[in-house]
Chain A
Amino acid sequence: MITFTIDDKKVRAKEGTTVFKVALENGIEIPHLCFHKDMEPYGGCRLCMVEITENGSTRLHPSCAFPVKKNIVVKTDTERLRKGRKIIAELLLARCPDVDSVINLAESLGVKEARFKKMDSDCVLCGQCVRVCRNVAQVGAIDFINRGKNRYVGTPFGLPSDDCIGCGSCHYVCPTGSMNMEYDNVLRWRNLPGTLRKCRYMRMGFIPHKMCPNNYRCWNCELDQRMEDLAKTHPIFILKHAREEEKETIGHFEIRFDRFYHEGHVWMKRLNGLMRLGIDDFARQIIGWVDDMRLPSVGTTFGPGDTLFEIFGNGKKIQFYTSIAGSIVHINPDILDNPKLASMAPYERGWILTIEPLDILRISKELLSGRSAKEWLKHEFNEFHDLVRQETETDLPPEKPIPKGFAKTVADDTWKKIHKSFFITKRKKKKIKLHRIEDIQ
């Protein structure tokens, strides 16, 4: 616990929080625009600036990002701050004269009319949509384009985005209501045939498989209502919390504690009696990226030791086997459209198959999880670096992820060795039939 002063009041706060949060807890609301409670501070709008006196010198800092420190003196409402905030509000009002939230904000800071030439933008460039799309949804369909006063938020060349998953989080966080990406995409999707109308929650990675029966009128959909009730915010933020809590890195490999692993570098996750699976970070880093796959068709049954699927990338191939028996229930339709997802988001939207295991109770016996998974991955990490050192006589830096082009630079027989020691340790005879993606589509 730390004590310091805000507006002449002594307050106590936990280490690691920000001045903004502590002020709010103490009933002081500081004006802000670009800050969102579930995202990293951005510090772009500069409305939340406060005067902070530290070691005898007073400076302005954005409270949304400033970490609390012992004995600092914070002033949230001084003449200088009021004046500056007023000017900022005026500038925003001149930019967006017709946006209600900006008009209200300006009014609350005492600005009725801007003295500048009016523009007719409806975006204040707070960057919340860009950040939620890139960092929370991990999609990155929109970004800032150009710089300085020509900056705007959009898609490349202003064309509809193929990456957009229509989650609507950009619209949800936008303080001015200018973000309509999701809606534009929904309009496009309504023209798709019924079998391709993937549910938004499926695209986000919440449910394995669902086609939208409502013509994307989500407000009529029970699932949508339930998700919103459950999350109390945009559901995408649930994913973020889940991701943050359950991941750790072993060397430079990421491990998720909500997954099962088996020695062939496939993760599995239980979903109501089914199992979803995909490649783990180790496989992803070694192959670099995935540009093609061979997969079994839905309904295929398999037994322990069968090769379940194969991925291709960087001119190399990896086979993945299974250690349990079962049958294929779903193939991730997103991955069929875009195999690179498996390497971009291997633990989320890049999942590959859902299977129905023959004996779900055996799973905890067969698969690794928690500590055993951790130890196993540590072992794999060391093995891998040793092997690379021996084979190529170069050191990969142990703290950095493997370069994406690594697989390409590796000679074929080295690759064979890597493959043999990490991926097909227990393979039996190949029994099930695999198809190229084109054949499935």
Chain B
Amino acid sequence: MKIKNMKDLDKVKEIGMKSLFPKGPQIRISMSTCGLALGADDLFQKITREKDKKGIKISLHQTGCSGFCNLEPMAIVKLPGKPALLYTQVTVENVEQIIRDIKKKKIPQKGLFCMIGSDSAAAKPDPVLNAVPDYRDASPFKGQHRMLLGNCGIIDPLSVSEYVAMAGYSGLFKALYQMRPEEVIKEVVESGLRGRGGAWFPTGFKWDMASKSSGDEKFVICNADEGDPGAYKDRTIMEGNPFKLFEGIVLAGYAIGSHHGIIYLREEYHHTFGFLSNAIEIAKRFGLLGKNILGSGFNFALNIVRGGGSYVCGEETALMDSLEGEVGDPRLRPPFPIEKGLWARPTIVNNVETLSNVPLIIQNGGKWYKNIGTEKAKGTKILSVIGNVKHPGLYEIPLGTNLKQVIFEMAGGPVNGKSIKAVQVGSPFGTFIPADKLNVSLDPESLREIGSMIGSGVIVALDQDACIVDILHHLLTFFVEESCGKCVPCREGVSRMEELMIEIYNGRAGMNELDIINELGETARDFSLCALGGGAPAPILNGIKDFKKDFEAHIKTGKCLRFS
């Protein structure tokens, strides 16, 4: 059915409410890439078989990833009159017991992790649940501000009605019916939203310029080339709540006067590609993409393009080359994409997370959004905390949250009683912050002060066993492999840095070589064409400066601290 007016939207909302708060028992299983890797499909089949065998009616749904893949496979069990219950690491062996309990109207105990929405009116208190924390109080969810990820892992990502029930598409409806494009831009400017792809460029400003530059056609590109190793927030949003992203893209299109959007998806996300293509088809069927969106007369077509496995293609100009069917060499600027982008037409490139923020801003107003975050950086940021911490995963925090708090309280600190040695914020381009300086606020400005950056939000925690030389070597190999090879400082310079780093790693070189690496790094930083060559030296130069000890060990003994 096509949603054409407010009435239709309300109708869909009702359907969504019914499916979120069903009369009978319901099980939801997380079936995104990570769930599948840990056996969610077996689980799904087993439950289907088991409930048929037992002959009870249970509605079965899929959900996306909630950001904590190590807790997968997750299941949400909703019994009539009870709050929804989240179970983690559910195995095929548990299934029989769960089904048996549901049949007896009992609450299954094994793997019970937390409650979702325990304060909702429908829920009656239950003594069994007294000891079970609510979702917001259970670590690792505790302390987060899950605006963007809130629905991920809870609603069925392919169900438009459930998203609408969660206030979805109210922003787009409002924009298309009550706001002019300039007003949408004004709201985004007011909100202070800045790009989450790494450069933190003010989104409203970018849109404003793009809307003012002239062209017979304009393009909205959603950068889903999530190439930063360690990042998977965009995947989580796309697999957990794709319609929010689509809503954001259509809003961007409406604001700048574009009728054509493209999602550039990275090649490695095989599952996501099929999934998103499906989601687009569904959105079209509901009249949320394509011709006459929401009955307003606004048209917007959305396509997905798969990349070819190249990190530079995340750089916006290389991305456009790739979309035009060329080799992904970054272009010279000026001209900027907002004037001459894809096919020399005005183009905006925005990250998945950036665009997903937009529906919230339009729905609640820029003023509301402005209240979250710090003076200069508004809103939340999804951090991907990985490495040597107890609970690696995605943490959505208000900007300005303390790094120490994130590492030690939210993510549980180091494992096995070890201590944290350093934290790389904004990997791969961010610098290593030593353990004694972790007391910083996570926002672009504070981090710039100490020479680091937040980037796309990858936070790598390293414990005492890690060796910085090893990590730097790893990073350098990454940069060398992913350099496009167009400009000399990056192609030749960074690969020479890697060459020298290998020598140092093996104890075949001395302090002299470190100086050469420094010189090369400075040149690459200043002279490279794009931010890959320009950003690569930062962690290297900083690592050499701050972690002399690790280098000395390598230079003197040729041994890596990591294996000692």
Contact = CB atoms under 8 A, between A and B. Distances in A.
Q: Check A-B contact in the complex, CB < 8 A.
A: yes
Contact of A116 (B310, B485, B499): B499
Interface stretch (A142-150, A202-210, A342-350): A142-150
A46 B488 contact: yes
- Of the listed residues B217, B487, B519, the one surrounded by the most CB atoms of chain A closer than 10 A to its CB is B487
B520 to A, nearest CB: 6
A148 B484 contact: yes
A87 B491 contact: no
Given A46-B529, A65-B332, A117-B499, A87 B493 contact: yes
A115 interface: yes
Which of B482, B528, B529: most chain A Cβ within 10 A?
B529
A166 interface: no
Nearest to B260: A397
Interface residues of B, number: 31
B485 A125 contact: yes
B523 A83 contact: yes
A92 interface: yes
A147 B310 contact: yes
Contacts, number: 93
A358 to B, nearest CB: 45
Nearest to A89: B488
Q: Indicate the size class of the contact surface on chain A.
A: 35 or more
Interface string A55-76: 0000010100111000000000
A84 B332 contact: no
B529 A116 contact: no
B223 to A, nearest CB: 20
Interface in B477-495: 480-489, 491-493, 495
A49 B527 contact: yes
Contact of A115 (B216, B480, B516): B516
B535 to A, nearest CB: 15
A46 B489 contact: yes
B334 interface: yes
Contacts of B310: 147
A288 interface: no
Contacts of B531: none
A88 B217 contact: no
B546 interface: no
A87 B519 CA distance: 8
Contacts of A84: 489, 522-523, 526-527
A43 B487 contact: yes
Interface string B510-552: 0000001001101100111100000000000000000000000
B485 A91 contact: no
B334 A67 contact: yes
Contact of B520 (A46, A87, A124): A87
A20 B502 CA distance: 39
B489 A125 contact: no
Max count, chain B CB within 10 A of own CB: residue among A46, A62, A91, A150: A46
B496 interface: yes
B485 A46 contact: no
B346 to A, nearest CB: 14
Interface string A124-146: 11010000000000000000101
Interface in B448-493: 480-489, 491-493
Given A46-B489, A62-B332, A147 B496 contact: no
A310 B174 CA distance: 57
Given A67-B334, A116-B499, A399-B217, A95 B492 contact: yes
A87 B485 contact: no
Contacts of B484: 147-148
B488 A45 contact: yes
A148 B482 contact: yes
B129 interface: no
A67 B333 CA distance: 10
Given A91-B493, A125-B491, A43 B480 contact: no
18 contacts: A44-B529, A46-B489, A62-B529, A67-B334, A83-B522, A84-B522, A87-B493, A88-B488, A88-B527, A91-B489, A95-B492, A117-B499, A125-B485, A144-B485, A148-B480, A148-B491, A149-B492, A151-B491
Given A66-B334, A148-B481, 13 more contacts: A44-B529, A47-B488, A84-B526, A87-B489, A88-B493, A91-B488, A116-B496, A127-B486, A148-B484, A148-B495, A149-B480, A149-B491, A149-B492
Interface of A: 41-47, 49, 60, 62, 65-67, 80, 83-84, 87-88, 91-92, 94-95, 115-117, 124-125, 127, 144, 146-151, 399
Q: Which 4 A-B pairs have the closest CB atoms?
A: A151-B485, A91-B492, A87-B523, A148-B483
